Amino acid sequence: MTRTPDDTSRPVVIGVDSSTQSTKAAVTDAATGALLALGRAPHTVTGTNGTRESDPETWWTALTDAIADALHTAGVSPHQVTGIAVAAQQHGLVVLDAHGRPLRDAPLWNDTRSAPQARALTDTLGAAAWLARTGSVPVASMTATKWRWLRENEPRTADAAAAVRLPHDFLTERLCGQALTDPGDASGTCWYSTADGRYDPVLLDLLELDADLLPKIAPTGSTRAGTLTASAARDLGLPPGIPVAVGTGDNMAAAVGLGLGGAGLLDHPVISLGTSGTVFAATRTRPAAADLAGFAATDGTYLPLACTLNCTLAVDKVAALLGLDREATAPGDGLVVLPYLDGERTPDLPHAAGLLTGLRHDTTRKQILGAAYEGAAFTLLRALDGLLTACGTDPADPAAALRPLRLIGGGARGHAWTETVRRLSGRPVLLPQETELVALGAAALARAAATGEDPVAVSTAWGTGRSRELPPVEADTATWQRIESTLTRATPTLLS
């Protein structure tokens, strides 16, 4: 929803959400956090059979188009813009030449070709050593495995690299000319130590990656990377010198948008229903569990996260195959669908395919679609149980079981997704009033870059995390147990 500014001279900030599929630019009232306009521009993702790549130059084009769209729609002057920040999809590998131009398309987080490299890296040091250093065990999503894949399969490209960046690093550097990253997004590379807050020299040696190719890490609490260069200002139609934030990864920005700090384990864990599905919580505890990504947050605390590759995109694909609207569902009623259409990350099944079992003569299309929702929601809720356990909370504890879940992302706007999560979890559900939390989190980072404020305090004052609560319903334990039993039996086959 867009809102008309009361005063055309009022300062605004721009928060950019550069995701897998598109760029969104939120022109936001710097004082109130009101979303004045949201510009959009699509990305192109190519590849089959585990390959998922995008040309980073198209991200820059999409960013400029989305900002132009948002400024036009909001009806604000470019001179009202007082800060810009980029939050972007995590883990993508951007390799640049000496002029800052991409040497090849960037393998994305959901590119699974580096699964063999992930296994080899894990075996070399052992899972415990990786957890102690990075908080995570390498899987095909992590940037380190993609670099190893490049080293082994395209050594000339790796040798020619003058810079290695994450997607948000690449865009931020284009904006301000500074090679600077933040601890949150850096923690998703598997070459950054969450224990020490720096790039790990032992891991860099193992990966054959020169630290000089990487951006500097911004100090904890630092939000400003630099100011808008003259070149970027021309591309964007903005005045040069506008403060540019360090920025972060999309999950970290969503946490900022929700106003999540690191005071302790979150009472309301977050489930993000997007192209991928994620569960995360803000905490001062540094968890180390093999099925979690032990990310850092933007403020030097922690944002442990579990990610599934197959969420809304996979369920929408099942709906399309069945010729159904995504809301045309019914409970699975004995069916199980494990919608691992692109392999899976949690559980770590990079070569898995989708599975349908329990089909009968009287099975309906709506039941098959409902079972796909159930399979995707089960995978996320099971990952959430692991996250809570790693952070010292028993998910079976009655008090913990009644704590609400925050649902965000595109799926949170769908009735079928919301009701499936309620039915399988038996927990209350909080639905934030704002839907563009990544972009609004980035907008809070943009204001912080301009003013020196704490970005979580900014978003809290703006109230971007306000939510409405849906009461719990009785947990559907029969469906849960049916899916869990099927996954246990099928895992040896899915691993092959």
CB atoms near residue 167 (< 10 Å): 29
Q: How distant, in Å, are the alpha carbons of 210, 310, 496 from that of 493?
A: 39, 18, 5
63, two tokens: 């960013």
pLDDT of residue 1: 42
Predicted confidence (pLDDT) per residue in 55-88, tens digit: 999 999 999 999 999 999 999 999 999 999 999 9
User: Rounded to the nearest 5 degrees, what angle is found at the Cα of 25, between the Cα atoms of 448 and 220?
Assistant: 30
* Beta pairing, strands 163-165 & 94-96: antiparallel
What is the model's pLDDT at position 394? Answer: 81
CB–CB of 1/35 below 8 Å?
yes
Residues 6+ apart with CB under 8 A from 131: 137, 288, 289, 290, 294
- Residue among 440, 386, 380 nearest 406 (CA): 380
Catalytic annotation present for 250: yes
Those residues of the chain that have pLDDT short of 50 are 1-6, 262-265
Distance of alpha carbon 332 from alpha carbon 493, whole angstroms: 23
Domain positions in the chain are: 12-252
What pLDDT, on the 0 to 100 scale, is given for residue 310? 94
The residues that bridge with 107 in the sheet, in sequence order, are: 53
Q: What is the pLDDT of residue 2?
A: 46
Q: What is the Cα–Cα distance from 161 to 176, expressed in whole angstroms?
A: 21
pTM assigned to the model:
0.88
How far from 386 is each of 207, 273, 346, 396, 429, CA to CA, in Å? 29, 18, 10, 11, 19
Cross-sheet strand order for the sheet of 293-296: 293-296, 302-308, 277-280, 270-273, 405-408, 429-432, 467-470
What percent of the chain is predicted at pLDDT more than 70?
Answer: 97
Among 17, 29, 200, 250, the active-site one is 250
State how far the alpha carbon of 231 is from the alpha carbons of 60, 174, 234, 237, 444, in Å.
Answer: 13, 9, 5, 10, 25
> Do 26 and 440 contact (CB within 8 A), yes or no?
yes
What is the per-residue pLDDT for 191? 98
Residue 296's nearest CA partner among 308, 278, 283 is 283
The secondary structure of 50-84, three-state, reads CCCEECHHHHHHHHHHHHHHHHHHHCCCHHHEEEE
Q: Residue for token digits 């569990």? A: 289
Each residue's pLDDT tens digit, 180-230: 999 999 999 999 999 899 999 999 999 999 999 999 999 877 899 999 999
CATH 3.30.420.40 fits 12-252, yes or no: yes
**200 touches 134 (CB < 8 A):** yes
Please count the other Cβ atoms lying within 10 Å of the Cβ belonging to residue 183. Answer: 25
Q: Are 223 and 247 in contact (CB under 8 A)?
A: no
**In this structure, which amino acid lies at residue 395?**
P
Report the alpha-carbon distance of residue 231 to residue 237 in Å, rounded: 10
Between helix 477-495 and helix 365-390 the angle, nearest 10°, is 80
Q: What is the pLDDT of residue 396?
A: 80
Question: Residue 475 is encoded by which pair of tokens?
Answer: 């947990």
Nearest by Cα to 278 from 255, 299, 257:
255
Say if residues 14 and 38 touch (Cβ distance below 8 Å): no
